[in-house]
Amino acid sequence: MDPSTDHFTPPVEVPASQVPAAEQQLSALSDLLQHIDAPANPTDSEGARHNQLIQVRLGIASGLFIALRSKHAPTAHHCLRVALGCSAWALTMNLAAEERDELEVAALLHDVGKIGVPDDVLMKPGKLTHDEAVMIERYRGVGDEILRACCSSHALLEIIQLSGAWYDGSLHGFEKHGSDLPLGARMIAIVDAFDSMTNDDVYRRGLSRERAVAELFQCAGTQFDPELVESYCQHLQCHDVDLSANVASHWLQQLHPERANSLWQLSDNASLFQTKSINDLYHLKLLESMHDGVVFVDSSKKIIHWNRAAERLTGISSKSVLERQWSPSLIQLHDENHAPITDADCPLADAIDSCVQGLRRLTVRSRDGKRTPVDAQVIPVFGPGGTRYGGTLLLHDASSRTTLEERVQSLHLRATRDPLTQVANRSEFDRVHSQFISTHLEVGLPYSLIICDIDHFKSVNDTFGHANGDEALRQFSKMLKTQCRSGDLVARYGGEEFVMLCADCDIATATERADSIRDIIAKTPQSAVDGRCLTASFGVTELQSGDTEDTMLRRADRALYLAKERGRNRVVQLGSGGDSSVPIHQPAPSSWLAWSAGDALPADALQVELFTPVPISVVQDKMKGFVSDHHATMEPSNDTTITVVIEGPHTPLQQRATDRPVSFFIQLDLQQAERLNDHCKGETAG
């Protein structure tokens, strides 16, 4: 696996003279933390906030981080995410101030040695050779040399040096292992790995949070400290919206220049950024809305833009290729004779060198692994006097096959509408939801469903009237539609509940989108409620093998219910996606029955084994209570067989009138085995 990473400390009161600056910094950091998983190509204003954050934490050492960002921006963004993650975790652990300082600075600079890695290795779009892998591993030594020249803290240096060590000592090259490793090094190793696993790379998509957590547990005791893995996963599970404010309070209210520069010499060199012009916003919107793939490279052939259509065509995300060196092999570009195009024959490189544009019919490897014909247009970009700035590659899908997104979009355009909100109605949702499931299962692409509910909507109607309540629903649906991509569907499920069908979208991306929508809603004043802000709760799930329309919808609805139970104004996801190769860690069951997976399941039934340390007679009594609670019937059977029938329409546990109950047939075959010990005299298996 690639390395990458209960009480809150109350905020400290800021002197009145520092309030404006502190509030400005607090707002900047809170916004950054809310979007910490955003793509690694920040806007200019986001870059300014990044710089402000680094200045607060590192002081004069900010120059080291800026140098790393100039060398390789994705690595710098990764270090910042790891530092913020460690800071939030440290707050929940109530670490001492000195330990937190060392941890946060070490996390920000743990990859600074990559400044010394050659560009052709660090930005290589393909897999590294053995020699290149050895070369890139030397960055730890380079980082040690850089920091020793300017850092006098032995503890800080040791944390960074040992952050790559394995807990059991099986990785050679490190002199300590186990509990002898500094606490900060063990924490950075976990957050580093988690961040790497949950973010896209050029070779793979990022894992969902559940799969990444499972991988951490799988490596607990070997690569990671098992107790810290448990602590970190509990921290992730209990992560709350208010945690951002606590981290902001620690970084911006409790850190002073003298403290931030205790290891460095103070410097006041802040980078200046210009705000994007209106024309830039138009150009960016145009690029992201185009159906043709657009790739920008600079004069050194480094990729500086990769639009969504290019992602859709090639299956490679922009986050995994930005700042990397362009090569035809990145998208497996073939010529008219179906032969691979080499770097020497690259049409984009030729256009930049000759300042002459061209158009050729080529083929690329599409996301489904097949060859797709494209009309590839290469356009050089040069200024007055012939100064070459780079080039543009346009990829137009020349195949007769309509893309999945275009088929879904045509369904959306023909959709029937909800008369109040003008989004798709319940009937159209049912039809498109069924179509999405069959289509995505057929082509093997991920599909996610988001269900959301306005919090305390009844009080809106009671306080402001039903007319204003209707207007609030219209405004809420408009915000959902503005966050909807081409090919997605927004529908009104009933009352104040809405659903969003996310085509070609895994659960990690859908959860990120849901949280972004939640944040926008919570910060947008609504005229229908006298300028106040509404909040909403979200449930997210992803299509899994064997899912039907009902099972997927019910799983999302359960996630929404959990979000409501946990306090509202939050996002809860259930399910780990369709193709999970990593076992999901589950805590030990606390109920009186312990479940374990049985043999291979038939297509039309769920078969499991249950173990409980009680006699058969107790199990039978328990089942009688279950039958009574669910208005079920118990069929005649012998002493070792129990047959229960639950008719869906008679189930009393429906949460709302629109719920669709499902009938169940349950047959329990009971066996009893004697296991003598200090606690019980027998165990029933069924």
Specify the 3-state DSSP secondary structure of 210: helix
- Structure token digits, residue 477: 């649906």
Query: Which of 63, 45, 266, 255 minimizes the C-alpha distance to 146?
Result: 63
Task: Count other C-beta atoms under 10 Å from residue 55's C-beta.
Answer: 22
What pairing do the DSSP bridges indicate for beta strands 358-365 and 371-382?
antiparallel
Give the E-state strand segments of 147-234 in sequence order. none
Across the strands, what pairs with 379?
392
Distance CA 590, CA 576 (A): 22
Q: Which residue has the tokens 């099972």?
A: 551
Q: How far is CA 46 from CA 40, 53, 298, 355, in A?
A: 11, 10, 22, 34
Q: List, as one string, the DSSP characters of 28-55.
A: HHHHHHHTTTS-S---HHHHHHHHHHHH
- Structure token digits, residue 530: 């006298």
Q: What sign results for the dihedral spanned by CA atoms 59, 60, 66, 71?
A: negative
Please report which helix (H) or strand (E) contains residue 394, including its range: strand 388-397
- Structure token digits, residue 526: 């609504």
Q: Interior CA angle at 534 toward 528 and 538, to 5°? A: 135
> Tell me, what amino acid is at 419?
P
Please report which helix (H) or strand (E) contains residue 77, including its range: helix 73-93
Distance CA 445, CA 404 (A): 10
Query: Which of 521, 523, 524 minimizes the C-alpha distance to 538?
Result: 521
Across the strands, what pairs with 388?
382
Length of the chain: 686
Query: Which of 636, 641, 606, 635 minimizes the C-alpha distance to 620?
Result: 641
Across the strands, what pairs with 492?
498
Q: Interior CA angle at 541 toward 194 and 88, to 5°? A: 35
Alpha helices, H only, 176-297: 183-197, 209-218, 226-237, 243-248, 257-260, 278-289
Annotation marks residue 496 as catalytic: yes
Distance CA 90, CA 7 (A): 10
Distance CA 469, CA 458 (A): 9
For residue 78, report the phi and psi dihedrals to the nearest 5 degrees. -60, -45
Which of the following is catalytic: 102, 496, 497, 542? 496
Query: Which of 498, 493, 496, 511 minimizes the C-alpha distance to 448?
Result: 511
Buried b (16+ CB within 10 A) or exposed e, 100-124: bbbbbbbbbbbbbbbbbbeeebbbb
- Structure token digits, residue 509: 């991306």
- Structure token digits, residue 415: 């959709």
Q: How far is CA 334 from CA 331, 340, 346, 462, in A?
A: 9, 4, 10, 64
Specify the 3-state DSSP secondary structure of 453: strand
The answer to whether the beta carbons of residues 553 and 520 sit under 8 Å apart is no
Indicate which residues carry an active-site annotation. Answer: 496
